[in-house]
Structure 1
Amino acid sequence: MGRGVLRPDLAAGRVELRQRAPRPELAPLVEFYWNPRWDLRGRPDHEQKVLAHPNVHLVFEEPGPLVYGVQRGVFNRVLSGRGQVLGVKFRPGAFRPFIDGPVADLADRAVPAAELLGPDAGPGLAALNREILVLDDLTAMTALAEDHLLGLLRSARPDPLVAEVTELVERITASPQLFRVDELARELDMPVRRLQRLFAEYVGASPKWVLRRARLHEAAARADGGADIDWAALAADLGYADQAHLTRDFTAAVGAPPSRYASR
């Protein structure tokens, strides 16, 4: 199900999740495409919770495609009946060239794609959404989405900072041992203020949030792993002052203390 999906054991029995890598020409901007499908006809609705990553997503779904900014709380989605969506997961910072403003303006929002991407993107998006969602073949679905993205890319302004920001965020998320913004700034030889401005402009969440979310992803993954966990030792490994600090962070994000979450 991927890191950040809470209770993946329950999700796996209700949702089929397919992924596909982008074409080489889109790989610097797109991490992957994701396609959850479900058939819950005659079964209870399923509420899926996700600890989101510092990424913007373009999602083809009913009734129309939406752009989701970084979701800083827990993202909830209730699935019912039968359906599917196709999501485009942009690399951190890579959505900035497509919009006229900082990515921080999209935080915790879902905006109609036609409204956000401008007059050149609007025409045909509704038809494209319908074409994608009636298909079963993931290759065909992503091909339609990629043709549209390549058209948008041709009209987007080049921005050399995108690659720098993408590499920076991916470095953080791959290393939950990075604990503090000032430590990160020193390691990068970059003033803290510039780091914060870069994240607001390109990522849509603060560097402190990204550092904290990487640690919570690690804690949730351990909790979902099913093994007995020494929470005090894990708190120390993740740079928390003590177990109580980890418990507060985890509870605020997930809605349950880590030990209770792991025991369900």
Structure 2
Amino acid sequence: MVNPTRGVLYPARLPEFHRLPAPAAVTELVAWFWIPEWDIEPGRSSRQEIVAYPALNLVVDADAVTLSGATTRLSHRDLRGTGWAVGALLRPAAVAALIDDPAALVDGERVIDDGRGVTELRDAVAFAMGSGEGHRERAVEAFSHWLEDRAAPVGEPGRQANAVMDVLIGDGAALTPEEAATRLAVSVRTLQRMTHRHVGISPAAMIRRRRLQEAAQRVREHPGVDLASIAAELGYADHAHLTRDFQAVLGIAPRTYRSEAIS
């Protein structure tokens, strides 16, 4: 599993946050589960700014079950009071069981309330989250059982779609759509159709998103490494290209982000 704070712009501001691996029964459906818990004093809030993964998330909280689409911009949540959420970063094989057109959900979200055990899922996860020691693991177990019933078994098209996600945003990910297509032994056009069908965005957009996540993490965690080196390692054309990407999505330059993130 990747660094638990990748995608989180300011980890020092996080409430209690955990990433848990997917149980064996749902590893083809979920990359991992993520669980924030917070207790913010009255009258205050905590803003969490996120460069989310180029994938869909299914999120359970005390009020609803929500499917969030892939994002192409910076997103944030303002946390207040006391609360929790249990999210599943979905692998492409799970998406078809939840939505017909993931492209329609890009940069958006939808409450899932289709009568297929959704209320029971919310209640089971809520019960687990309030049950003391081991509550996160029990919540993930309840969540996993529901997903397994709804989206399993995974066939060959789902496995092929998962392979695309691995090549585009996994360890040692491809730097270009052409490289990804070559690794998968498909055409670039086929690759584009697969990501549109299972994620909702293009392969190039997925690569840009993953690369920006990695860039932000390296800028933040390695203050002694110059930005030109980071740009070269991640496949940016040059330092200026990295800066343009930062400013276009995050609204700040890498040097400004570095000083803010480590202060």
- Equivalent residue number for residue 10 of structure 2: 7
1:87 aligns with 2:87: yes
Equivalent of residue 171 in structure 1, options 167, 170, 188: 167
The one-character-per-residue Cα deviations of 1:169-192 (angstroms, maximum 9, x if unpaired) are 222223567332233323433221
How do 1:20-39 residues align onto structure 2 when only pairs under 5 Å count? Answer: 20-39=20-39
The one-character-per-residue Cα deviations of 1:115-135 (angstroms, maximum 9, x if unpaired) are xxx443445455446435544
Deviation larger for 48-57 or 235-244: 235-244
Q: Distance in 1 between matches of 2:247 and 2:227?
A: 13
Deviation larger for 236-245 or 129-138: 129-138
Q: Distance in 2 between matches of 1:186 and 1:22?
A: 29
SS at match of 1:95: helix
Q: Distance in 2 between matches of 1:146 and 1:81?
A: 28
Instruction: Say if 1:176 and 1:214, in contact at 8 Å, map to a contact too.
Output: no
Instruction: Say if 2:168 and 2:203, in contact at 8 Å, map to a contact too.
Output: no
Query: Where in structure 1 are there 5+ consecutive unaligned residues?
Result: none
How do 1:104-115 residues align onto structure 2 when only pairs under 5 Å count? Answer: 104-114=103-113
SS at match of 1:37: strand
Query: Percent identity over the alignment?
Result: 28
| Change beyond 3 A, Cα 1:132–1:6 | same
Instruction: Say if 1:33 and 1:142, in contact at 8 Å, map to a contact too.
Output: yes
Instruction: Say if 1:97 and 1:158, in contact at 8 Å, map to a contact too.
Output: no
Name the amino acid aligned to 2:185: D
Residue 241 of structure 1: how far off its partner (Å): 1.9
The one-character-per-residue Cα deviations of 1:225-247 (angstroms, maximum 9, x if unpaired) are 15223112222222222211110
SS at match of 1:94: helix
- Equivalent residue number for residue 45 of structure 2: 45
Q: Distance in 2 between matches of 1:187 and 1:153?
A: 27
Q: Distance in 1 between matches of 2:64 and 2:234?
A: 40
- Equivalent residue number for residue 138 of structure 1: 136
Deviation larger for 161-170 or 97-106: 97-106
Q: Distance in 1 between matches of 2:238 and 2:165?
A: 26
Residue 108 of structure 1: how far off its partner (Å): 1.4
Query: Where in structure 2 are there 5+ consecutive unaligned residues?
Result: none
Name the amino acid aligned to 1:80: R
- Equivalent residue number for residue 239 of structure 1: 235
| Change beyond 3 A, Cα 1:175–1:27 | closer
Residue 17 of structure 1: how far off its partner (Å): 1.0
SS at match of 1:239: coil
Name the amino acid aligned to 2:40: L
Residue 167 of structure 1: how far off its partner (Å): 2.1
TM-score, normalized by length of structure 1? Answer: 0.86
